[in-house]
Each structure stands twice: as C-alpha cells, then as structure tokens.
Amino acid sequence: VQYSKRVVGRKMYGGQSTHIPMKVNSSGVLPIIFAVSILAVPQTIAQFMSQDSGFVLWVQKWFTQDKPLYAVLYALLIVFFTYFYTQITFNPVEIADNLKQYGGFVQGIRPGKPTSDYLMRISNRLTLVGAVYLALVAILPIALTAITKVPMSFGGTAILILVGVALETTKELEAQMLMRHYKGFLK
C-alpha cells in the first residue's frame, strides 16, 4: 500500500509504503470447533433414542470417527466454516474505502471497487490455503489412528490451540516490553 505525498508549506508529508496484514488462517480453530459441533448433533440425538431404531443404526454406521464419510464431511465443514468466518470478519469494501479516504492505494490497482475486488481475491486465495491447512491438521490424527490402530491422546486442534496461545502470549509480552522501552527477549 502506497500513500500519496502532501506538501504543506515547505514540508512534505506522507508518501510512505506499508502493507495490509492479512492472515492465512484468520479464523483460528473456530471452523474446527463448529464442524465438530455440527457432526456431534446426530450422535447426540441418537443417544436419546432406542438403540434398535433405524436412525441410531444409521448414525452408528456412518457418523463415527473411524468412517471415511465422517472424515470427508469433517473436512468439507471445516473448509465451509473457514470461508464463512473470514467473510464475516474481513471486509474488503471497508478497507478499500479507508485507503481511499486517507490517500492510500495499492500499486497498479485503482482506488475504490477495483481495490475492494483485488483484496477479496487475495483474501479468497489465502483463505483456501488456510482452510486446506486446517482440514489437514484436523483429519491427520483421525487418519493416523485409522491406519496405525493406535489411539491418539490429543489431536491437531489441541496443538493449534497451544501454539496460538503461545504466539499471542509472546506478542503481548513483546508489546508490553516495547511500551516500557525494554529490549525484546526474542532477539
């Protein structure tokens, strides 16, 4: 993102170059949590029904973690919820309007709707990579358990949460130390 230069009196303001921070996985682990919740609904309903009913037998046949249908639905729901959450939280029209209002522009892209469309394309590409990554991390423990027949004590979601908390804690500590003019501890 480039900002146009302004001349006020004898001084020149602006003209700096910056970037828009866009994450590959902006949704975190929420899509995994939503997908597990949706897939747990048939199993929860089946617990309150007679064990001989057709629905319970159908759920036991198709909606357990060791079945391929479960893994496929799990991956598809993760991809869907990743896109859904990103669409809710990332607003390219607002970002494009803010850039235009403050004299910023993406080099080679006209301000306004073309910038908004460009940001949406970039967001969709990043979201696809993030969604596939999340689906792989979530499916990998299920696949390894099915292949090796050794139960996993924790899955990919737990690792994602632990790493996310560690990174956020590190960022917060760095921000506090920078605010108090201390030297960073991660250098």
What CA–CA distance (Å, rounded) separates 169 from 184? 14
Tell me, what's the pLDDT at 110? 85
Q: Residue 152 is which amino acid? A: M
Residue 1 C-alpha from the chain's centroid: 23
Tell me, what's the pLDDT at 111? 83
List all residues 6 or more positions away from 96 whose beta carbon is below 8 Å from its beta carbon: 111, 112, 113, 115, 116, 119
Tens digit of pLDDT for each residue in 24-51?
888 888 999 999 999 988 888 888 888 8
Tell me, what's the pLDDT at 38? 93
Residue-range domain boundaries for the chain: 2-152, 154-187
Query: Both tokens of residue 167?
Result: 């990174």
Would the pTM of this model clear 0.85, i.e. be above it?
Answer: no
CA dihedral sign of residues 90, 94, 98, 104: positive
Element (H, E) at 109: none
Q: What residues of the chain score a pLDDT lower than 50?
A: none
What CA–CA distance (Å, rounded) separates 15 from 104? 9
Tell me, what's the pLDDT at 185? 56
The position carrying tokens 């979530």 is: 138
In whole angstroms, how far apart are CA 154 and each of 20, 121, 133, 144, 176? 35, 35, 18, 12, 32
